[in-house]
Amino acid sequence: MENILAPSILAADIMRLGEQIREITDAGAKYLHIDVMDGTFVPSLSYGVCVVESIRKSCGLVLDVHLMIVEPIRYVEAFAKAGADIITVHLEACVDVGETIAQIHRLGCRAGLSIKPGTPVEEVGRYLGQIELLLVMSVEPGFGGQKFFPESIERIQTARRMIGQGGRDIDLEVDGGITQENVREVLRAGANVIVAGSAVFRDPGPDSRALMEILRKEQEG
């Protein structure tokens, strides 16, 4: 599977967002990761439908919308209409996970399912036949700039094994605390979609090229 960089705009400079999206596109990023937070499922508030709509107008990247909201099915249609390509919901946030995935598909989007660090990976097993992306959180969702949980490596390996057994091509995305230092280990554990906020937009300065370079090298083996 192709290694894909998905910069998270949570760490971007909103006043320079257009320019920063052009930079990451030129560097080779394929997905744009958009974190939606409701202040209930996670403590923070971020942004919602109109931000996705506005980005869609001038951005050709795959819009990878990560919904950290309670009962996400309520907003799936609005995000689909706003131009999301992938809509990822949390297993822990849905009353009916299967129906939420079905609704995402009915609206013509790819469906992603995410789990927090405390949720056993095995719990997604029954949905692997229905989703296009599995997102394993490597920090507690809610904030950018946290440190990667080392236990995530084993969880990524388990997830990749389960995907392999299911026999369908599913993106395995990892989100939280990814840096130039630990990204190789994350890829080698089986992830192919790398979310990075701080590592792309913050210290040591906007740098998607270095991460993309590592993704390409690891792909070549």
Q: Is 127 helix (H, G, I), strand (E, B) or coil?
A: helix
Whether 203 is catalytic: no
List all residues 6 or more positions away from 199 whose beta carbon is below 8 Å from its beta carbon: 178, 179, 180, 183, 207, 211
Among Zn ion, ligand DX5, none, what does residue 211 contact (CB within 5–8 Å per kind)? none
Please identify which residue in 35, 38, 173, 207 interacts with Zn ion, judged by CB under 5 A. Answer: 35
Specify the residue, 11 or 162, whose C-beta has the smaller distance to ligand DX5. Answer: 11
Alpha helical stretches, state H, 65-208 = 76-82, 97-106, 152-166, 183-188, 198-201
Phi, psi of 86 (to 5 degrees): -120, 130
**Positive or negative torsion for Cα 70, 76, 77, 81:** positive
Q: How far is the CB of 8 from Zn ion (least distance, A)?
A: 6
Site string for ligand DX5, 143-182 (x = CB under 6 A): xxxx----------------------------xxxx----
Whether 35 is catalytic: yes
Q: How far is the CB of 180 from Zn ion (least distance, A)?
A: 19
List all residues 6 or more positions away from 4 whose beta carbon is below 8 Å from its beta carbon: 29, 30, 31, 171, 192, 193, 194, 215
Q: How far is the CB of 35 from ligand DX5 (least distance, A)?
A: 5
Q: How far is the CB of 103 from ligand DX5 (least distance, A)?
A: 22
- Looking only at the bridges linking them, the beta strands covering 4-7 and 193-196 are parallel
By CB under 6 A, residue 11 contacts ligand DX5 = yes
Amino acid at 174: V
Give the separation between CA 114 and CA 162, rounded to whole angstroms.
Answer: 15
Specify the residue, 64 or 132, whose C-beta has the smaller distance to ligand DX5. Answer: 64
By CB under 5 A, residue 175 contacts Zn ion = yes
Among Zn ion, ligand DX5, none, what does residue 196 contact (CB within 5–8 Å per kind)? ligand DX5
Which residue of the set 38, 64, 171, 175 is catalytic?
A: 175
Give the separation between CA 110 and CA 80, rounded to whole angstroms.
Answer: 10
Among ligand DX5, Zn ion, none, what does residue 190 contact (CB within 5–8 Å per kind)? none
Residues noted as catalytic: 35, 175
Residues that bind ligand DX5 (CB under 6 A): 8, 10-11, 33, 35, 66, 139, 141-146, 175-178, 195-199
